[in-house]
Structure formats: C-alpha cells, structure tokens
Amino acid sequence: MLINLTELFSLDGKEKAYTLDIEMDVFQAPDGAYPIVSKCPLTLKMKNLGGKKFLMEGRAELTLAIPCSRCLEPVDSLFELDICQELDLSMQQEDSEKGLDEQPYVIGFHLDVDQLIGNELLLNLPMKTLCREDCKGICNRCGTNLNYGSCSCDRNVPDPRMSAIQDIFQQFKEV
C-alpha cells in the first residue's frame, strides 16, 4: 500500500494519522520466505517538520512462522514493531546514497507501507529460532525429528582425519 505524502506538504507542523492494513502475507527474508500467521493493522502518524522533512511514528504487530534452527518445525514468533524515523524528501537520490541514508520504502513522494514493515522485520529477525530450549534437532542421516523419538542410524561416524590412527589400532587387534 502506498501513502501519498504530498497532502502533508501544505503546512509545517501538519499531522495525519493512518490506520493501514498490511497487505503482505509472506515475508521474504534473505534465507527464505516466512508466512505471516497473524497481523494487526499498522498505526502510523506522519508530521511535517518543514523543508520536506517528516517525522514518522508507528506501531505494528505481526506473527511469523519461522522454522526452528534445529528441527525445522515452524515456530510462531511475535514481532512488535515500533517505528520512529525521520524522512528527508528534499535530498536527491545521489545525496542519500552517498550519506548511506537509503530509504527504499520512499518512492518519489509516496511511502510504501509493506516495504517499511519488511525493513523493520528484517532488522528484528532473531539470529536463531528454537521451538524449545532442549530441542534435539533432526538425524543427519535419515531426517527423523529426534524430539519425537529416536532412529536406528549408526551415529558412530569416524573422523577421516583419524584414519591413520585407526589403521594402527586395527594392526594391533590382528595380533
């Protein structure tokens, strides 16, 4: 959803509040796509600070289904996003790139709400998601979820770097 910011240009100090539905159903992260399980509308307040500068304050709540880092079962993760940023629309695109003040959610004089929410989610993603603290993960041979039961795979995998020592032990066993 795009918000037209030109309606706020007319008067310095002018404020406008928005309540917007988040249109995206899947969040595309660098490591995969996470479905959005639940979402609350975004409340956003825009204030004209003068000189094509705006103060943007908002709040959104989303729940993503992120796979567990060990067993790959989906885990519902709640994100409470608090947004407080200043937008400067007077800067040319080259100036904002030089100052590393890129705002990919601003297109001309329009604000892309889904892109804004996507950026905030990306900044708030956890490093590791676990379904529970004592998650056992999956078997690296057969793929069985070890939280629900065990498998009959041989877990005694010799280290290939130790093959020379294993050969010595084998020679002594033959004697």
Reduced to 3 states, what is the DSSP secondary structure of residue 103? coil
* In a domain? residue 162: no
Question: Is 145 within a domain?
Answer: no
pLDDT at 53 over 50: yes
**pLDDT on residue 96:** 47
Least confident of 59-63, 78-82, 102-106: 102-106
Dihedrals phi, psi of 170, to nearest 5 degrees: -65, -40
Average pLDDT, the chain: 84
CB 57 within 8 A of CB 44: yes
pLDDT on residue 126: 92
- pLDDT confidence of residue 157: 64
In a domain, residue 147? The reply is no
| Alpha-carbon gap, residue 93 to 116, rounded angstroms | 18
Tell me, what's the pLDDT at 129?
A: 93
Asked, for residue 50, whether it belongs to a domain, the answer is: yes
pLDDT at 91: 64
Compute the average pLDDT of residues 71-85: 94
Q: Give every CB contact of residue 140 below 8 A, 6+ residues apart in sequence.
A: none
pLDDT tier for residue 102 given thresholds of 50, 70 and 90: low
Number of domains, the chain? 1
**Domain range spanning residue 113?**
2-124
Q: How far apart are CA 151 and CA 31, in angstroms?
A: 29
Whether residue 175 is contained in a domain is answered as no
Residue 160 domain-assigned (yes or no): no
Is the residue at 129 inside a domain?
A: no
More confident residue, 8 or 101: 8
Summarised one tens digit per residue, pLDDT across range 7-36 is: 777 777 888 898 988 889 999 998 889 999
Q: What's the predicted TM-score (pTM) here? A: 0.74
Q: Does 169 reside within a domain?
A: no
